[in-house]
Amino acid sequence: MNSNKIKIAVLALVTLLSFASCQNVTIDLVDDNAEMPDAVTSHEDESSELEDSAAEITVSGDLFPDGVLVDTDNGVGLTYLDSNGQILSEIQTPGIGFTDMENVAVAGTVFPAQPLPPIIYHSWEPEQALMANINGQISTLRQTNSFLSLQGALGQTAVAFSEVMISPDNFPHSFLYAGNTSNLGTIGSFYDLIDEPTYFALMPVGVKAVSGEPQGVWYTKTAWGIGGADLIFPITRGLYFFDLTNGDNLQYVNVDRSFQGISPDLSHAGTVDFNMAGDRAMTIINLTSSQQTSFALDPASDRGAGFAVFSPNNKFAAWLEASGSMVAEPPNFHPRVRIGDVQNGGVVRDLLDAAAAQAINGDLVTFMRPTGWLTNETLLVEVRGQDWGDVLLLRYDILSGGLSIFFSGSFVGFGYQ
C-alpha cells in the first residue's frame, strides 16, 4: 500500500466507522424504534412543548463567520484567517496531534481589536486532556483518556463533548458533558449510554447556549470501535436534543436515517438512509416543521452522499457525493460537491473533482468535501491533491461558478463576533 493510501486508511479508522456490526436495537432513554409522525419525545402528550422547544433552536447574533480556523501543519498550532483569507493570528496548540473539526472548538466571541479567538482542543501529549488557549495563555481544563468529540456554541464559551470507554460487558459506554471555559474541568456528564447491540456512541453536533451557558445539546449516535480503509461518510443513527433546562431528551430524526450535518442556527439537518443498500440521497429536514427536501443522487454517485453544510440563511445546502473506491488500483474515486436550493428542491451547482484539480493546479484530487459557508453565496471546499497532505481550501461562488484558492491548509472551524 502506498503512503497516500496508508493516510486514507488511518483517517478512515479514526473518523469513519464500520457498518458491518450494526443492528436495529439500542438501549436508550428514547425509544429508537417508535413510529415518528413529526418528531419523537421521551414523554407523552408534549407536542406543544416540542413545538416550543423546536422554535427556540436558534443561536443569537450574526451567523456569518468572522474568520476561519485552519491547520497548516506547521507543527506549532492553528492559523486564524479573516473572511478574505488574510492571516490574523497564529494560535499555539501544543500536543494536539491530528486536527479536525471534532477535536477543536472556538469557544467565545472573536473581537475585532483582539483577533485571537479562544480555543478549546484535545491534546495527546504530554497527557490526554482538554486544553484551552485563551489570549495566548495555555491551560489544562481536564484530563480525558476516553475523549471522542467536541462541539462549541457559535460565538459563545459554551461547549459540549463526549467520552467513550469499554463497559465491563465489552460494550461502548459513552458520556455527554456540557459546560464552558470556567467550569469544564469539574462538570459531570448529563447523559450516558451503554449501546450493547450496535456499538454506537454519543457524539455532540450542536450546542444551544444563552450568555455562555449551555441550554441544550444536539447529539447523534456514531458507530464506534471498527474501521475500514474505504469508508467515505460518517456512519451515524438519528438526531436528538437533550434539553438541559428540564431534562427532556427529544428525538427529531429516527434511527433509519444517518445524520450528516446541522445548520449554523441548529434548525435544519442533512440525513441519508442508514441502510447502505437504501436510497443514500441527501435529504434536508427542517427540525422545526419536520418538512423534508430530498435531492436525487447524480446517476454516477454510486457511493451515496454526506457531509452536509448549510448557508447562514438556510437557503442552500452543500454536500458531497462520490463514486468509485479510494483504494482502487488504478484510482477510480471521484468526489463531487453539490449545492441544492432547500426551498425549491433543485440542485443549482455541481463541482466536479476535475474542476477542483484545475483550481489547485494538480493532476488528481484524492478527496474533497464542503466545510462551511463564508456568506449565503460563498462556499468553502476542502480539497486534497495527489498527496493526502497537500490540502487547500477553495472559495466557490455559487452564483457565478467562480472557483479560487482561499488558503493552504485544512479546515478546522469558524469564528464569530
Q: What are the DSSP calls for 58-74, one per residue?
A: ---S--S-SEEEEE---
Mean pLDDT value across the chain:
85
User: How many CB atoms are closer than 10 A to CB 96?
Assistant: 19
Residues 74-97 pLDDT 10s: 888 999 999 999 999 999 999 998
How many whole angstroms separate alpha carbon 234 and alpha carbon 149? 13
pLDDT at 116: 76
**Buried b / exposed e along 273-312 (16+ C-beta atoms within 10 A):** bbeeeeebbbbbbbbbeeeebebebbeebebbbbbbbbbb
**74 vs 341, more confident:** 341
Q: Which three cell numbers stand for residue 158?
A: 459554551
Pairing of strands 67-71, 40-41: unpaired
Distance from the Cα of residue 389 to its chain's centroid: 21
Average pLDDT over residues 234-254: 97
- Side chain identity at residue 391, one-letter code: V
Instruction: Inform me whether the pLDDT recorded for 3 exceeds 60.
Output: no
- Closest by CA position to 342, among listed 405, 256, 265: 265
Domain count of the fold of the chain: 1
How many whole angstroms separate alpha carbon 314 and alpha carbon 337? 17
Distance from the Cα of residue 352 to its chain's centroid: 22
pLDDT band at 226 (very low <50, low <70, confident <90, very high): low
* 266 neighbors 244 (Cβ within 8 angstroms): no
pLDDT at 360: 95
pLDDT at 219: 98
Instruction: Inform me whether the pLDDT recorded for 356 exceeds 90.
Output: yes
* 321 neighbors 233 (Cβ within 8 angstroms): no
pTM of the predicted protein model: 0.86
Residues 136-182 pLDDT 10s: 999 999 999 899 999 999 999 999 999 999 888 888 999 999 999 89
* 48 neighbors 38 (Cβ within 8 angstroms): no
The CATH number covering residue 56 comes to 2.130.10.10
How many whole angstroms separate alpha carbon 77 and alpha carbon 142? 20
Residues 6+ apart with CB under 8 A from 64: 83, 312, 374, 375
Beta strands across the sheet bearing 77-82: 87-92, 77-82, 67-71, 410-415
Domain limits at 196? Answer: 3-415
Instruction: Inform me whether the pLDDT recorded for 235 exceeds 60.
Output: yes
How many whole angstroms separate alpha carbon 228 and alpha carbon 231? 6
Pairing of strands 391-397, 367-373: unpaired
How many whole angstroms separate alpha carbon 79 and alpha carbon 192? 35
Pairing of strands 236-243, 249-253: antiparallel
Share of the chain above pLDDT 90, in %: 69
pLDDT at 113: 67
pLDDT band at 115 (very low <50, low <70, confident <90, very high): low
336: left (phi over 0), alpha (psi -120 to 50) or beta: beta
**98 vs 228, more confident:** 98
Q: Which three cell numbers stand for residue 91?
A: 494560535
* 105 neighbors 157 (Cβ within 8 angstroms): no
Q: Which three cell numbers stand for residue 85?
A: 483569507
* 39 neighbors 49 (Cβ within 8 angstroms): no
* 138 neighbors 123 (Cβ within 8 angstroms): no
Backbone φ, ψ for residue 52 (5° rounding): -60, -45
**257 vs 225, more confident:** 257
DSSP three-state, residue 48 = helix
Q: Which three cell numbers stand for residue 201?
A: 456512541
